[in-house]
Amino acid sequence: LGCDADQLLGQYVAARDAGDTDAARAAWYQLVALSLPRVEGLVRATSHKHLSAEEQNDAISHALEKLLTNMFRTFRGTSMGEFHNSAKRLVYGVCVDTQRRAKTISKHTAPLHATGDNGEFTDGFTPSVNKAAAREHDARDADERDADNIADLAAVFDQALATMTPANRSVMELQRDGLTTDEICEKLNMSPEAVYQNTSRGTKAILKFAEAQNA
Amino acid sequence: MTPIEQLLGEFLDEWNAGARPDVNAYLDRAEPADRSELAEQLATWLEIAPTPAYDDATLAEIAADPRLTAAIAKADLLNTPLAKRIPTLREQAGLAVRDVAARLTDAFSLPDAERTEQYVTQLEAGELDERRLSQRLLDRLASILGVEADALAPQPATAGQAFFRADEDADRAAMASMQTLSEAAFAPAPDASLDELDRLFCGGPGA
């Protein structure tokens, strides 16, 4: 299993564009494997009120299957941001499907989504989850995914930075670069508590920005 | 500092260190009233987080995850022709060819179970054209084999091939499509005397 996601994506794109399906698949499988912790985390964070632990594991398994097959067939992107955004939408769609399959709505506090009179996804979880799940649902039959108009958090990150305070912005930039709290403290001359506070506020600012984009 | 800020910060530290933090464990540590907000912030982070540089032990743990290995096995199966896929799925379901044929005969109210069995045998031997199998048949087969309809979908196309890429040898792609359409247009019409069973396995009007 390779450990550099960017490198694996580059290998996938090169093989895909050269028509070398076997090589593309080999790189893709590794890329999906590296995404397992993220997929697992997204499923658990998104569905914590709606799916049991067992159902969450089913959702993770289904999401992995779809990432390996459907998304391999349809992904046209060339960047990790596009990869994460497509994967996110697929994961949210799978969570909704899992809940439907398990028919556990009555056992849990609220459905992941609800539909209005015209079948649109109207409420439930965050607007971005509902919109992503709805789009995944709509795209499934056509087996295609066009250019995405869901606010892609990775893509709007830079724009969202502009809405943050300087301290929030500095911390979030370093968090995205993968620095540890100790390293951020040293670089910005901040206490760990201040790093944590700025991280939380920065995360909220990104979410708020993305939801404004979605609206 | 609030408990949510503390928990989010610890989660990010673990994530960036490649330690695979458990979202559920973090949510359990939060007060019930704080869990939704923490979950939302964790999901937001996971959408933008860099992929950490996992160590060898963690990479081995990921590669051996049973959910991943099972998903890869399924994906690999989808990359095989139906003639190989159906017997594998049938055996996994603990069914004999005769059982499958009997259920198809029953489901479609077919008059002849023996002929159905011959068709299923031919299908598994790769003697039938997969492209002509009726969607009704595939849907019913999936149900009998206890798998989702996707499991009997045609072999996946080449990576990213579901879309037309005008910048990549468009003329050749268009010619290939025209050739296929042309061949289909000049192909003999299906025999009108085909019965329901033939139509299910060989196509034709109303398949």
Identify the DSSP state of A1.
-
Distance of alpha carbon B181 from its chain centroid, rounded? 27
CA gap A132, A84 in Å, rounded? 13
Q: What is the pLDDT of residue A209?
A: 87
Residues of chain A with pLDDT under 50: 104-108, 115-124, 140-150
* One-letter amino acid of B175: M
Residue with tokens 């489901």: B107
Does B84 have pLDDT greater than 50? yes
CA angle B137, B143, B148 (to 5 degrees): 105
CA–CA gap between residue A173 and residue A142 (Å, rounded): 38
Enumerate the H helices of chain A as residue ranges.
5-17, 21-34, 36-46, 53-68, 70-74, 80-102, 127-142, 153-161, 166-176, 181-188, 192-214
Q: Does B149 touch chain A (CB under 8 A)?
A: no
Name the residue in chain A with its Cα closest to that of B156: A73
> Is the alpha carbon torsion for B12, A57, A2, B44 positive or negative?
negative
Q: Which residue has the tokens 């015209």?
A: A118
Partner-chain contact A179 B16, CB within 8 Å: yes
B13, B24, B40 member nearest A181 (Cβ): B13
Q: For the segment A147-162, what is each residue's pLDDT rounded down to a tens digit?
A: 344 456 767 788 889 8
Please give the residue of chain A at the shortest CA–CA distance from B71. A65
- A162 contact B CB<8A: no
Q: Please report the pLDDT score of residue A198 as a whole number.
A: 92
**pLDDT attached to residue A100:** 80
Answer whether B160's CB lies under 8 Å from A144's CB: no
Q: How far is B74 from chain A (nearest CA, A)?
A: 7
What pLDDT is stored for residue A208 in this prediction? 87
Q: What is the pLDDT of residue B204?
A: 65
Of A16-20, B60-64, B99-103, B174-178, where does mean pLDDT reach its minimum?
Answer: B174-178
CB atoms within 10 A of CB A107: 9
- Percent of chain B at pLDDT > 90 equals 57
Residue A81, helix vs strand vs coil: helix
Q: What is the pLDDT of residues A58-95, one digit of tens each?
A: 999 999 999 998 899 889 888 888 898 889 889 988 99
Q: In this structure, which amino acid lies at residue A45?
A: A
Q: Which residue of chain A has the CA closest to B26? A: A45
- Complex prediction ipTM: 0.77
Give the span between the Cα atoms of B156 and A65, in whole angstroms: 13
Q: Please give the share of chain B, as a percent, with pLDDT higher than 70.
A: 79
Min Cα separation B174/chain A (Å):
17
Task: Specify burial of residue B185 (Cβ count, 10 A radius: 0-12, 13-18, 19+).
Answer: exposed
In this structure, are residues A112 and A122 in contact, taking their beta carbons and an 8 Å threshold?
Answer: no
DSSP letters of B49-113?
Answer: PPPP---HHHHHHHHT-HHHHHHHHHHHHHTS-HHHHHHHHHHHTT--HHHHHHHHHHHTT-S-H
Q: Which residues pair with A106 in a beta bridge?
A: none
**CA–CA separation, A123 vs A126, rounded Å?**
8
Q: What angle do CA B149, B79, B154 make, to 5 degrees?
A: 45
Structural contact between residues A34 and A8, judged by C-beta atoms closer than 8 angstroms = yes
Task: Say whether pLDDT at B116 is over 60.
Answer: yes
Phi, psi torsion values for A113, nearest 5 degrees? -150, 165
Q: Which residues contact B103 (CB under 8 A, 6 or more apart)?
A: B144
Q: DSSP states of B151-167 as a string?
A: GGSPPP-STTTTS--TT
8-state DSSP, B195: -
Amino acid making up residue A204: K
* Residue among A5, A37, A65 whose CB faces B71 most closely: A65
Q: How far is CA B49 from CA A130, A142, A203, B157, in A?
A: 21, 30, 11, 31
